[in-house]
Amino acid sequence: MLLIKKLNFKSRRGMKETTFVVKKFVENFNKMNQDEKSELIELLEMNDQDLFDLIFKHKEKFISRFPKLEKFVY
């Protein structure tokens, strides 16, 4: 339960677009397996601009770096 609260806090990003995407991940957290959760935690450590670029400008890099999270974004 503490982890979900921490994820909800971290999901409040500085950019509207990244906040929307990250909230989709957090909403699906309980459906994720351990590998997906590990990738999500790593993703949440990124700053907003890098996250935005990875998701919206460099989809192929996102998929190669976070393959287990692809189904929650695209």
Instruction: Write out pLDDT tens, residues 4-63.
Output: 666 666 666 667 888 888 888 888 988 999 999 999 889 888 888 898 999 999 999 999
Separation of alpha carbons 9 and 64, rounded Å: 26
The count of domains in the chain is 1
pLDDT at position 3 over 70 = no
**Residue found by looking up tokens 């996250």 in the block:** 51
Q: What is the pLDDT of residue 15?
A: 76
Q: What is the CATH number of the domain that holds 67?
A: 1.10.150
Task: Identify the domain containing residue 64 by its residue range.
Answer: 2-73
HSE-CB of 29 using CA atoms within 13 angstroms: 18
Q: Give the count of beta carbons closer than 10 Å to the beta carbon of residue 40.
A: 22
Smallest CA-to-CA distance from 69 within 22, 29, 43, 36 is with 36
